[in-house]
Each structure stands twice: as structure tokens, then as C-alpha cells.
């Protein structure tokens, strides 16, 4: 199997099973595809079964292995049931917590329902999956957990109150899990991207700026110091490194992939 024409001898995941949540599109789909290209067997947990199935088909068409497991990450009983089904069949080596939602608003415009929904998906969803997998990893010789955070969790972004809160929690949970499970050979890191060109961005522009999509896309892209958004495949490449044996000495780290946004803004 090849990945965009290359198949590096490094960063291989042969023989490993990777659970990727929210892999029906965007970053999750790119991560699942990248990991499969490097030899991992992919288990997709997603509430959107058709989208997840489409990702599986992409992986299969490229010669990889993947399966869909319908799951609502906000429901702890559902998460435990899905993971237990996997554990009865195989060892899970890698968990990528990616399923999440965005929200636009200040503290004043964020309703209680908005706030609770962001917490359920972006915080409790990550907690549910980590809680479900760490015991298995402890008794299986270790593993890797990678959480998708955001630069919004560590720097101020306008109109992102609830989203920023949730991603700050992801960073803190990452540090805590990394500390608590060092002795069990479980590594836990997170990635904090800046703006990434995903279907969410296109949908947002279509709904918010109808007829002005190209203009506003360019404006958003140029707000990054490098003058463009990241591509999902670039985030997936960093994820692959962090989940590979080449990163065996890395744990408890929040990696920014931001085109210079945090440190190079004028």
C-alpha cells in the first residue's frame, strides 16, 4: 500500500491496531488513511456511519485494512461496549481521540445548551475513550494515546469561548494521563493545530458568507503567518510520528502545528 506515492521504511505501524474516533472526514480521515498506509489496522469509531464507511472504502481501495464501529463517544456505556468488542478480538495499540465539534461565540452569546454540548463531545468524549482503553493497555504491555487539541486551548482566539475551554481541557487531560501511566508504558501526547482546511471550514464559509466564499477563504488563510491553512495530511504526518516507535521517548507533550501562529504573529 502506498500513501501519496511514498511508503517510508520509518514510522511503520505494522501489526498494530489503531482506533481513530471521528474519522469520517477531515483530520480524522487523514490520520486513518496515513496510519493504514503505514501498516496499521484501523478501527473507526464514529456516529456518522456512511462517512466512516467511505473512509474505510478509501483505505481498502489503497490496500489497507479498516472497519467501522458505530459509536457515540459522549455515551460512556456505548464507548465501553464498542471497546470491549474490540478487546475480545485483538489488542488495541493506539487510540487517536479526534471526534469533536466547533463552536463560535463569546461567553455572553454561548448558551448553556451550547456549552454543555461542547463539553459532552470535546471533553467527555475524550475522557470516555481514554477511560475505556487505559486498563486494556496496562494489561497488554502499553500503548499510545494521541489527543487532538487546538491552539485555541493555549492562546486567545476571538469568539471561541466554549471551544477554547474544551481544548484547554484536552491539553490538561493529556498531561495528567501521561503522568499517571508512565509506569505502564502508555504514552500520551496531543496535537494543537491552527486553522486546518477541512470540510468544516468550507461549510462555515458557505453558511456564513454565501457568495463570498473565495474572498473569505483567502482572508482566513492569510491570517496564518505562513499565508495558508494547514492540510489534514500535514496534521496526520505529525500524528503518525507521535504514534510510531520512533517517538518512544516522547510523552506528555502538546505539539503545535500552526504555521507560526503562536510565536510569529506580527
> CA Rg, the chain, in Å?
18
Per the residue annotation, which of 163, 175, 181, 204 is the catalytic one?
A: 163
Contact 51, 21 (CB under 8 A): no
Neighbour tally for 120: CB within 10 Å: 17
Residue 163 annotated among the catalytic residues of the structure: yes
Q: How many CA atoms lie within 13 A of 190 on its CB side?
A: 26
Q: Which of 101, 100, 93 is nearest to 43 (CA)?
A: 93
Determine the distance from the C-alpha atom of residue 46 to the mean position of all C-alpha atoms in its chain, rounded to a whole number.
Answer: 12
Q: 82: Cβ–Cβ under 8 A, 6 or more apart, which residues?
A: 45, 69, 70, 71
CA dist 166 and 113 (Å) reads 14
Reduced to 3 states, what is the DSSP secondary structure of residue 201? helix
CA dist 98 and 167 (Å) reads 11
255 strand-pairing partners: 191
Burial class (CB in 10 A: 0-12, 13-18, 19+), 217: middle
Residue 75 C-alpha cell reads as: 455515551
Pairing outcome for strands 17-21 and 41-46: parallel
Q: Which residues are catalytic?
A: 163
Amino acid at each position: 500500500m502506498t500513501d501519496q506515492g511514498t511508503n517510508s521504511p520509518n514510522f511503520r505501524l505494522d501489526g498494530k491496531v489503531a482506533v481513530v474516533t471521528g474519522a469520517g472526514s477531515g483530520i480524522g480521515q487523514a490520520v486513518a488513511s496515513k496510519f493504514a498506509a503505514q501498516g496499521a489496522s484501523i478501527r473507526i469509531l464514529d456516529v456518522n456511519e456512511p462517512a466512516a464507511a467511505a473512509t474505510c472504502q478509501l483505505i481498502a481501495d489503497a490496500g489497507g485494512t479498516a472497519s467501522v464501529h458505530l459509536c457515540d463517544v459522549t455515551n460512556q456505556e456505548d464507548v465501553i461496549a464498542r471497546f470491549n468488542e474490540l478487546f475480545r478480538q485483538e489488542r488495541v495499540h493506539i487510540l487517536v481521540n479526534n471526534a469533536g465539534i466547533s463552536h463560535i461565540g463569546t461567553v455572553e452569546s454561548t448558551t448553556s445548551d451550547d456549552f454543555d454540548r461542547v463539553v459532552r463531545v470535546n471533553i467527555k468524549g475524550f475522557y470516555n475513550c481514554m477511560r475505556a482503553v487505559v486498563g486494556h493497555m496496562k494489561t497488554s504491555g502499553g500503548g499510545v494515546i494521541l489527543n487532538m487539541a487546538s491552539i485555541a486551548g493555549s492562546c486567545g482566539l476571538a469568539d471561541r469561548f466554549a471551544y477554547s475551554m474544551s481544548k484547554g481541557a484536552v491539553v490538561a487531560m493529556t498531561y495528567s494521563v501521561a503522568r499517571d501511566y508512565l509506569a505502564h508504558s502508555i504514552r500520551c501526547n496531543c496535537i494543537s493545530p491552527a486553522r486546518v482546511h477541512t470540510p468544516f471550514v468550507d461549510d462555515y464559509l458557505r453558511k456564513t458568507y454565501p457568495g463570498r466564499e473565495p474572498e473569505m477563504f483567502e482572508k482566513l488563510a492569510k491570517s496564518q503567518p505562513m499565508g495558508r491553512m494547514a492540510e489534514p495530511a500535514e496534521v496526520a504526518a505529525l500524528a503518525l510520528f507521535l504514534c510510531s516507535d520512533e517517538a518512544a521517548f516522547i510523552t506528555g507533550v502538546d505539539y503545535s502545528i500552526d504555521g507560526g501562529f503562536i510565536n510569529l504573529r506580527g
